[in-house]
Structure 1
Amino acid sequence: MKVVAFKRDLQGTGASRRLRNSGQTPGIIYGGVEAPVTIALDHNALFHALKKEAFHSSILDMEIDGKVEKVLLRDFQMHAFKQLVLHADFQRVDANKPLHVKVALHFENAEVSPAVKLHAATISHVANEIEISCLPADLPEFLTVDLSAMDVGQSIHASQLKLPKGVTIVTHGSDATIATASVPAGAVAAEAAAAKE
């Protein structure tokens, strides 16, 4: 994905406010061996790009004054109630250095799992994203969680995920739970009542 930005020289609250009033968003690029660069981006283009999941977990081609750099979106601030992006942070990417980045989890095949099909259970998504480590070239857009074999009372953990080549999961402490299957309390009570009759 390509992003066009412009260098900005003026900094501070007043300069940032004037920038936002003119339809632009202040930002910064940092990391690597070069000094941080303050930038301005087109607000509407950035606002719509932020709605795309891929924008958050892809290596972006950022063009500044005709020069293209590989960057990764690291952070952004939104206005408390207006649909307004206040600031965006990008980190330079070195092709030879591993990245630590969070990627989205996509859940598949819940409807064919024994938990849902046979027991009318509910599958809860405990996590919607997970932190991984990989080289920039191996960065996946998302990871798929296959729920087809899940039964009641079972959980899927981070260690059970199928990972693309070169990707490792960065878990802090224990093996994180990704999804669980349980029968809703009302359904259990109804089954018990039916059994008594």
Structure 2
Amino acid sequence: MKVVATNRTLQGTGASRRLRKAGQTPGIIYGGTAAPVLITLDGNALWHALKKEAFHGSVLDLEIEGATQQVLLRDFQMHAYKQLVLHADFQRVDASQKIHTKVALHFINAETSPAVKLSAAVISHVLNELDVSCLPGKLPEFIEVDLSKLEAGQSIHTNDLVLPEGVTALTHGQNLTIVTSSIPRGAVSAEAAAE
């Protein structure tokens, strides 16, 4: 995805407030060997881009006055009740160095899993994103979690995931739970009463 920005020289609360009133969003680019750069982005375009999942989990091409560099969205601040992005932080990435970021998890085949189909179990998502490490070119937009073999009372952990080539899950030696399936208490007592 491509993002267009311009350099900004003024900083501080007053300057940022004037930018926001003009429909612009202040931001910053940091990381790598270069010095941090203050930027301005189109507030409306950024608002709509933030609604896309790919914008959060992809390496972006940021163009500043003709020069393009690869960045990751690291943080952003929203207004409490207005449709307004207050600030955005981007980090430069080097194609030869691994990056550490979060990737969204997509859950598939929940409706066809034996836990739901045969046991009427409830599937609970414990994690919705996973910390990963990889080269910028290998960064996946999302990781699929296949629930087609999930039985009632079972769980899926990080060691059960099939990660894309070159992507490592950062779990600090723990086998984190991603999904659990359980039969609701009311359903168990109804089955016991029927017996």
The 2-side partners of 1:179 and 1:115 are apart by 12
CA distance in 2, matches of 1:15, 1:118: 61
Matched AA of 1:27: G
CA distance in 2, matches of 1:153, 1:21: 53
Q: How does 1:81-100 map to 2 (within 5 A)?
A: 81-100=81-100
Q: Where does residue 29 of structure 2 map in the other structure?
A: 29
Q: Distance in 2 between matches of 1:79 and 1:175?
A: 37
2:106 is aligned to: 106
Letter in 1 for 2:66: G
The CA distance in 1 between the partners of 2:43 and 2:173, in whole Å, is 39
- Aligned amino acid, residue 96 of structure 1: S
Alignment-derived partner of residue 159 in structure 1: 159
User: How far is the alpha carbon of 1:172 from its aligned partner?
Assistant: 3.3
Deviating more after overlay: 111-120 vs 172-181 = 172-181
Pairing 1:1-197 to 2, within 5 Å after superposition:
1-195=1-195
Q: Distance in 1 between matches of 2:95 and 2:4?
A: 21
Shift of 1:193: 1.1
* Cα offsets for 1:60-86 (capped at 9, x unmatched): 000001100000000000111111100
Which whole-Å CA distance do the structure 2 matches of 1:175 and 1:24 have between them? Answer: 43
Q: Which amino acid aligns with 2:40?
A: A
Which structure 1 residue ranges, 5 or more long, are not aligned? Answer: none
User: Structure 2 stretches of 5 or more lacking a match?
Assistant: none
- Residue 176 of structure 2 aligns with an amino acid whose one-letter code is A
Q: 1:79, 1:173 → 2: CA distance? A: 38
SS in 1 for 2:188: helix
How many residues in Structure 1 have an aligned counterpart in Structure 2?
Answer: 195
In 1: Cα distance, 2:41 partner to 2:49 partner: 12
> 1-side partners of 2:17 and 2:161: how far apart?
45
In 2, Cα distance between the equivalents of 1:94 and 1:14?
34
Shift of 1:173: 4.8
Moved >2 Å (runs of 4+): none
2: distance between equivalents of 1:151 and 1:79? 43
Q: Which amino acid is the alignment partner of residue 48 of structure 2? A: H
Per mean C-alpha deviation after superposition, the further-off stretch among 6-15 and 184-193 is 184-193
Identity of counterpart residues, as a percentage? Answer: 71
Task: Name the CA distance, whole Å, in 2 between partners of 1:25 and 1:189.
Answer: 56
Q: Go from structure 1 to structure 2 and tell me whether the alpha carbon gap of 1:124 and 1:90 turns closer, same or farther (over 3 Å shift).
A: same
